[in-house]
Amino acid sequence: MAKQPSIKQQAFVEHYLNCWSATEAARRAGYANPESNAHRLMVIDGVKEAIAARLAELTMGADEVMIRLSDHARGDMSDFLTITEEDVVIDQHVNGVLVRTETVRRPVALFDLAKAAAAGKLHLIKTYSRTDKGLRAELYDAHAAQALLAKIHGLLIDRTEVTGKDGAPIVVVSAEDLAAARAKALEWEAAQDG
């Protein structure tokens, strides 16, 4: 087991995982001569092990990937909408003259980020923006996630059928037949040279 990295070396590791440049990481960690220290730090066993350990912590494992894909496949705008009602005033005109005004209630869907956050669903949002018509949100593609999960589980298998010329069966040639054909070809070549 390698020696634990010093506090300064651990700072180098963290900076390296942010910028991916050993020289820049050495500079940020406060090393006097970052150019020469960068290579030296990268070959220290404790530093290499610390980088590998932090990468293992930061990267997604197969289970997490499957969970994320499953969440995307199950994603649904109902997680982000609250249905309520509002009063709408309807004016009826006849020949440009107001003849009647009535108020009716109609259902309205409101984009509800608080509801989605409470349900832990915000990671399903691919894009979110405000437009002149209100909020715009797009979820990750559920169909694409379902197709990828189906492939992972072996439910969708791409197959290619290979046939011989004009759809005929492929002729299997034995090693002996191949050797005999090669011998004939060599005889023919020798006859052409001679």
pLDDT at 22 over 90: yes
pLDDT band for position 135 (cuts 50, 70, 90): confident
Enumerate the domain spans of the chain.
Answer: 7-58, 77-139
Mean pLDDT value across the chain:
90
CATH no. for 7-58? 1.10.10.1400
pLDDT for 69-122, tens place per residue?
Answer: 999 999 888 888 999 999 888 888 888 888 888 888 999 888 888 999 999 999
pLDDT at 194 over 90: no
Handedness of CA 116, 117, 120, 125 (dihedral sign): positive
